[in-house]
Amino acid sequence: MRLFIAITFAEEIKQQLASSGQAIAALSLHARLTRQENFHLTLAFLGDALEEAQACLAIDTALNKAPVASFKLYSGKAGVFRRSGGDIHWLGLKPSPELNTLYAGLSSALAEIGFSVENRPYSPHITLAREVKGLNSVLPPPPRFIIPVNKLTLMNSEQKHGLLTYTPIYTKKIT
């Protein structure tokens, strides 16, 4: 199992993100779009072959360690990670002290129970398209929306019938 902890989105937000990805694809020679059902915000990658119960404990421990009330995230500016095999286009989020607190608490709790955590600043973003090549026009402005954060979801990432599929395993509410 390849598990990660994420903030998931409502269908209306996923539709807006999919439209942005389609705009990128329409103006490019090549783009591999994120499937609409896969849009999320990653908080922590937990790795392969992890015990589900241990991952669920990590979420619970993190929320108890750095209690965070439900909060809102706001879409921000679009960006690009340049790659030789094609660029990654993404949508960022406006700075959020609540998200930073949640991320720090989650990272600390994961480290305390034996998970390795990334040793770099957290850069929250939503991937719209990968392997983008030959973008030949200026993109329209990114969508504007508000993401209510009232739960964390443990997700399993796997290939099913040749498609990357994210399956929710456990959800922890934030009150």
> Catalytic residue numbers?
40, 125
CA-closest candidate to residue 43, choices 137, 133, 109: 109
- Residue 163 to residue 128: CA distance in whole angstroms: 16
Structure tokens belonging to residue 125: 């973003």
CB 155 within 8 A of CB 3: yes
Q: Greatest CA separation found in the chain?
A: 48
